[in-house]
Amino acid sequence: DAKTTQPPSMDCAEGRAANLPCNHSTISGNEYVYWYRQIHSQGPQYIIHGLKNNETNEMASLIITEDRKSSTLILPHATLRDTAVYYCIVRVSYNFNKFYFGSGTKLNVKP
Amino acid sequence: GAVVSQHPSRVICKSGTSVKIECRSLDFQATTMFWYRQFPKQSLMLMATSNEGSKATYEQGVEKDKFLINHASLTLSTLTVTSAHPEDSSFYICSARDASGGDNEQFFGPGTRLTVL
What mean pLDDT do residues A43-72 have?
Answer: 94
Share of chain A above pLDDT 70, in %: 94
Q: Distance between CA B78 and CA B68 in Å, rounded?
A: 8
CA-to-CA dists, residue A2 to A87, A101, B13, angstroms: 11, 6, 32
pLDDT of amino acid A22: 97
The pLDDT, as a whole number, for residue B13 is 96
pLDDT grade for A57, boundaries at 50, 70 and 90: very high
Burial of A86 (0-12, 13-18, 19+ CB in 10 A): buried
How many angstroms from the chain centroid is the CA of residue B20?
Answer: 10
3-state secondary structure chain B: CCCEEEECCEEEECCCCCEEEEEEECCCCCCEEEEEEECCCCCCEEEEEEECCCCCEECCCCCCCCEEEEEEECCEEEEEECCCCHHHCEEEEEEEECCCCCCCCEEECCCEEEEEC
| Coil, helix or strand at residue A89 | strand
Q: Round the average pLDDT of chain A to a whole number and report it.
A: 92
Q: Is A106 on the interface with B (CB under 8 A)?
A: no
Supply the pLDDT for residue A43: 95
Residue A84 pLDDT > 60: yes
The pLDDT of residue A93: 63
> How confident is the model at residue B10, as a pLDDT?
97
Evaluate if residue A85 carries a pLDDT over 70: yes
Q: Does residue A9 have a pLDDT over 60?
A: yes
Q: Which residue has the higher pLDDT, B110 or A3?
A: B110
Best of A33, A41, A87 to substitute, by most chain B Cβ atoms within 10 angstroms, is: A41
- Residues A42-47, mean pLDDT to the nearest whole number: 94
pLDDT of residue B1: 67
Q: What's the pLDDT at A94? A: 63
% pLDDT > 90, chain A: 75
Can you list the residues of chain B whose pLDDT is less than 50? Answer: none
Look at residue B54 in the predicted model and tell me its pLDDT: 85
- Please indicate whether, in this complex, the C-beta atoms of A101 and B46 are within 8 angstroms of each other: yes
Contact A41 B36 (CB under 8 A): no
